[in-house]
Chains A and B, each alone.
Chain A
C-alpha cells in the first residue's frame, strides 16, 4: 500500500496534497517534466498513458494524448520510460480501460508493478464493472483509485470510497478535464461528501486550474489534482522549467 501509505503520511504531517498530471510520451523530455514537478513539491504524479479515444478529457489533454501517440507513445513504452524515473513519490497511471483490457488484466497489472507504478486510475471503468481488473491489480499490489462524481448518490459514494485504494478521486465538476475560469460550485460539496464517507485521502480533480482554485478546493478535501493547466503550458512550448515554476506556485499557495 505504498500510494495510500505515502499520502496518509504526508497528510498527517499537515500538508495539503498536490498531484500533477503529466501525459506520458509527450515529447522526449517528458520524464524531466516528471522530475521537475516532484522537485517542485508534488506528493505523487499521475502519468497519463495516452489512448486514442479519451472521453473524459477535454481539448487540452486530447491534444496532448494525440501528440504523444503521433510521437510513438505506446502503453508499453510509457510504462518502460516511467520505470526509469527515480523519484521519491509514488506514480499513478491514468489511462482508459481498453488498453488494459487489450493487454490483459494480469499482464497490465504486472507491468505497472514491475515499473514501480503504484496506482491506476481508469475513468471509464466504474464500480459495477471493476472486479476483474481490480482483483488482478490487488494481487499485483497496484492500488486502483476510484472516481466519485457530483451525481453519485450517497450509498454508491460509500461503496466507491470503500473499494477505492490509494485515495478517492472526487470529480470537482460535471464535465471533462480542461481549464476553467472558476472553481465549479460542485467542487466543495464533492470534497465534503467524500470526506464524510471515508478516512482515505480525498483528492479533488478536473478543472482545477489556478493556485487560488487549488487552495479553495484543498480546503474541502485533502488535496488536488492539476492536469490541463499544466499540460496547456507544455503544449504551448513550455518545458520542465515551466512545469517546475507552475507547480512551485501551486505548492506555495497550498502551503501558505
Chain B
C-alpha cells in the first residue's frame, strides 16, 4: 500500500481513482440536473479536485477528524458475538465518532470546501437525522447558516435528532410532499438549491447526486476503509474474508469498500429488505431496482412500469430510499461487490443481538448488516470466516422507536 500521509493523528490514505468522463462509474453516474446548478457543480468539482490533492487541505481535514470528530475510530473484536455466530466478527466503530455516525467524515470535508468557496449557508437532506445533525454541527463549528430538509415521517420517528439539530442552530424543514421521507427531502433540498446556489453549498449526505458528489463523498468516507484495512492487518495479520456494510445511499459502504477493493475480501452491501422483497415494501434498489435517473445520477432505482419512482420502505429512516449511489450500481454490475437484503425484523434482531452480546447499541441502519450476518453465518458466510462490519452509527436515535415497537407502548 502507498505510504499513508500523517495529519494530526489521523491517516488519510492517498486519493482514490476519479470516475471517468462526467462522473461515470461504468454506465452509471453523470450530472442530470437543472441548468441553473451546472456552474456550481463545475465549481465544486474543481475546488474538490484541487483541495483533495493539496497537503494543506488534507492536513486541516485530518486535524478536524482527529481533534474534533475523534478519529481514528477503533476496530473492536466481538468475542461473544463471534462465539455465538461461529465466525470471527470485527466492528469498525463509526458509532464512536462525534455526532455518532460516519456522516461527520464527509460533512467536515464539505464544510471546509464550502468555506473555501465563500459559501455562508449550507443545506442538507436527512433521513435518520444523522447527516442533518452532522451538518448542523459543522455549521455551528464554522459559523454558517444551516437548513435541513427532512421528510415529515422521519421528523416523527427520529424526534431526538430533530431536537439536536435545532439545538445546534439549524432550521429543520419538515417535507410533506410525496412519501415524506428521504427521497422527498432531497427533492426539496434541490429545489432550495436551484434558488440559492450562489450563496449556498448543498451538503449531500451520501454517495448520491450529480457529479462530483458520488466521487467526493466516497473520497471523504474512504478514511473508514483505509483505517480499517490497516487495523485489520494488525489484528488479523491480513485482510478479512468478508467486508460488510449497510447501504442506504451507500456512503459508509463505499467508504469501507474503498479500503478493500484491491484485496481478495468479499464485499457485501446490505440493503433494506423492509417487509420482505415480495411485499413490495422495501428499499432494495440494487436487488430490485432498474436503471434510471433521479437526483442527478443514472443509477438503479425502484420504479413502476412508467418510470415513476416508487416509495421505499424501511424500519430505518437512513435506508428508506428508492435508489443507491452510482458506484454501487457499477460494483454490482461488475460483480466486485454483492448486495443482499435484510428485513426490518432481521435488523431489529441484529439491534438486540449486538446490544446483548457486546454491549453496543447500533443504529438501525447498520443493524441490518448485523442481522444479515446473523442469518448467513454458517451459510453464505462459512463458519470460521473473518468478517469486518462497519458499524456506521449508534442507536440512541432509535432506542425510543425500537422500544415502542417491541413493547407496543411509547417510552414515557
* A interface list, Cβ under 8 A from B: 51-59, 62, 66, 69, 74-76, 97-103, 123-129, 146-153, 156, 160, 171, 173-176
4 residue pairs, one from A and one from B, having the closest CB atoms: A102-B307, A175-B195, A149-B36, A99-B307
Query: Interface code B20-39, partner A: CB below 8 Å = 1, 0 otherwise?
Result: 00100000001111111111
Q: How far is the CB of B275 from chain A (nearest CB, A)?
A: 21
Q: How far is the CB of B294 from chain A (nearest CB, A)?
A: 6
* B interface list, Cβ under 8 A from A: 22, 30-40, 177-178, 183-184, 187, 190-191, 194-198, 290-296, 298, 301, 303, 306-309
Task: With CB as the reference atom, state the residue of chain B lying closest to A62.
Answer: B177
Known pairs A52-B178, A148-B35 / 17 extra A-B pairs, C-beta < 8 Å: A51-B308, A52-B308, A54-B187, A55-B34, A57-B191, A98-B293, A127-B35, A129-B22, A147-B35, A149-B36, A150-B36, A151-B37, A156-B39, A171-B35, A174-B195, A174-B196, A176-B194
**Which residues from chain B contact A171 at a C-beta distance below 8 Å?**
35-36
The reply to whether B36 and A151 contact each other, CB–CB distance below 8 Å, is: yes
The reply to whether B194 and A174 contact each other, CB–CB distance below 8 Å, is: yes
The reply to whether A53 and B187 contact each other, CB–CB distance below 8 Å, is: yes
Partner of A52, one of B40, B196, B293, B309: B309
Asked if A98 meets B292 with Cβ closer than 8 Å, knowing A129-B22, A174-B198, the reply is yes
The reply to whether B292 and A102 contact each other, CB–CB distance below 8 Å, is: yes
The reply to whether B32 and A53 contact each other, CB–CB distance below 8 Å, is: no
Complexed CA–CA distance, A20 and B178 (Å): 26
Complexed CA–CA distance, A126 and B30 (Å): 11
Asked if A101 meets B36 with Cβ closer than 8 Å, knowing A52-B178, A58-B191, the reply is no
**Which residues from chain B contact A146 at a C-beta distance below 8 Å?**
35
Asked if A149 meets B34 with Cβ closer than 8 Å, knowing A53-B294, A74-B306, A98-B294, the reply is yes
Task: With CB as the reference atom, state the residue of chain B lying closest to A50.
Answer: B308
The reply to whether B195 and A176 contact each other, CB–CB distance below 8 Å, is: yes
**Which residues from chain B contact A52 at a C-beta distance below 8 Å?**
178, 308-309
22 A-B residue pairs with Cβ-Cβ distance under 8 Å, sorted by A, are A52-B308, A53-B183, A53-B187, A74-B306, A76-B306, A98-B303, A98-B309, A99-B307, A123-B35, A126-B33, A126-B34, A127-B35, A129-B30, A148-B35, A149-B36, A151-B36, A152-B35, A152-B36, A156-B38, A171-B36, A174-B36, A175-B194
The reply to whether A101 and B292 contact each other, CB–CB distance below 8 Å, is: yes
Task: With CB as the reference atom, state the residue of chain B lying closest to A49.
Answer: B306
Asked if A129 meets B191 with Cβ closer than 8 Å, knowing A52-B178, A62-B177, A101-B293, the reply is no
Task: With CB as the reference atom, state the residue of chain B lying closest to A160.
Answer: B35
The reply to whether B35 and A98 contact each other, CB–CB distance below 8 Å, is: no
The reply to whether A128 and B22 contact each other, CB–CB distance below 8 Å, is: yes
**Which residues from chain A contact B36 at a C-beta distance below 8 Å?**
149-152, 171, 174
Residue among B187, B190, B191 with the highest chain A CB neighbour number at 10 A:
B191
Asked if A53 meets B38 with Cβ closer than 8 Å, knowing A174-B194, A176-B191, the reply is no
Partner of B31, one of A55, A128, A156: A128
The reply to whether A75 and B307 contact each other, CB–CB distance below 8 Å, is: yes
Complexed CA–CA distance, A123 and B296 (Å): 11
The reply to whether B194 and A56 contact each other, CB–CB distance below 8 Å, is: yes
Complexed CA–CA distance, A175 and B192 (Å): 7
**Which residues from chain B contact A66 at a C-beta distance below 8 Å?**
177-178
Asked if A129 meets B32 with Cβ closer than 8 Å, knowing A98-B292, A152-B38, the reply is yes
Complexed CA–CA distance, A62 and B292 (Å): 20
Q: How far is the CB of A144 from chain B (nearest CB, A)?
A: 13
**Which residues from chain B contact A160 at a C-beta distance below 8 Å?**
35
The reply to whether B177 and A128 contact each other, CB–CB distance below 8 Å, is: no
Complexed CA–CA distance, A246 and B296 (Å): 35
